[in-house]
Amino acid sequence: MWKLGLLLYPFVFLVVWINLFMLALIGTFVGLRSLTTAESLLVSILVALPACWLSARWVRRLLDRAAED
């Protein structure tokens, strides 16, 4: 599963980075401080690791289910 995780990490990282930046922009409507792109980049490096593990697990289950059929 680690090979699948390595393959998915760049895509998951970019998705987390974009979504975190957009979430921070939406947070300004409720009075929160907006994150810069560099700050959201640094945070997304850490957040992308568990997200990548979860997505690799999900894809592995899909592949296993497809192999059963």
pLDDT average per 10 residues of sequence, the chain (69 residues): 88 94 92 90 93 93 91
pLDDT of residue 43: 93
This prediction has a pTM of 0.80
Nearest by Cα to 5 from 45, 55, 42, 66:
55
- CA-to-CA separations, 5 to 38, 60, 66, in angstroms, rounded: 24, 10, 19
Structure confidence at residue 69 (pLDDT)? 73
